[in-house]
């Protein structure tokens, strides 16, 4: 999660894991040209035909439940990942963190990159409030990696990690 740097962080993690020989699935957003850019397996965007049965499965399973575009697409992509032999899945958190659909997935690590003023109408009008929303991905017993360069904001994130029962790890560049 984060305002800046989360896409780059996901891409770097994917690159490192691929270079180490791992089979990796990456869900990123937004797409720039084609929807398939949101879903990568083994470093390449998937063919849309691979996603189609997973979209159909989500449509059948949801019944009368209304899903947002992001929820629907995440479920289809995660369904494809679950059906594919992968060693690692990387999910880029979208808006905020606490209320993002990716937050429904249990993760072995959570990363928050830089925090700045964004989506103030939904996340709050202060850096502390926005950092709190981003920190909503921290879970008990799960390492919380903090890449925020500002000591003050990193401190807020670390406090949120401790409050959530996560162990905070600060990366300083």
pLDDT tens digits along 108-125:
999 999 999 999 899 999
Q: What percent helix, strand, coil does the chain show, rounded to 5?
A: 45, 15, 40
| pLDDT for the residue numbered 173 | 66
Q: What angle do CA 96, 138, 171 make, to 5 degrees?
A: 90
Q: Please give the mean pLDDT across all residues of the chain.
A: 95
93 secondary structure, DSSP code: -
At 135-168, the pLDDT tens digits run 999 999 999 999 999 999 999 999 999 999 999 9
pTM passes above 0.85: yes
């Amino acid at each position: 999660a984060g305002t800046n740097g989360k896409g780059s962080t996901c891409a770097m993690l994917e690159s490192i894991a691929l270079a180490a020989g791992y089979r990796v699935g990456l869900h990123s957003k937004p797409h720039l040209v084609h929807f398939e850019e949101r879903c990568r397996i083994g470093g390449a965007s998937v063919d849309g035909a691979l996603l189609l049965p997973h979209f159909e499965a989500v449509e059948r399973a949801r019944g009368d439940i209304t899903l947002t575009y992001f929820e629907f697409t995440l479920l289809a992509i995660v369904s494809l990942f679950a059906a594919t032999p992968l060693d690692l899945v990387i999910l880029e958190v979208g808006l905020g963190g606490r209320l993002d659909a990716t937050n429904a997935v249990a993760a072995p690590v959570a990363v928050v990159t830089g925090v700045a003023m964004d989506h103030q109408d939904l996340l709050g009008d202060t850096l502390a409030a926005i950092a709190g929303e981003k920190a909503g991905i921290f879970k008990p017993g799960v390492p919380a990696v903090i890449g925020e360069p500002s000591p003050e904001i990193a401190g807020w994130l670390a406090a949120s990690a401790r409050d959530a029962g996560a162990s905070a790890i600060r990366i300083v560049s």
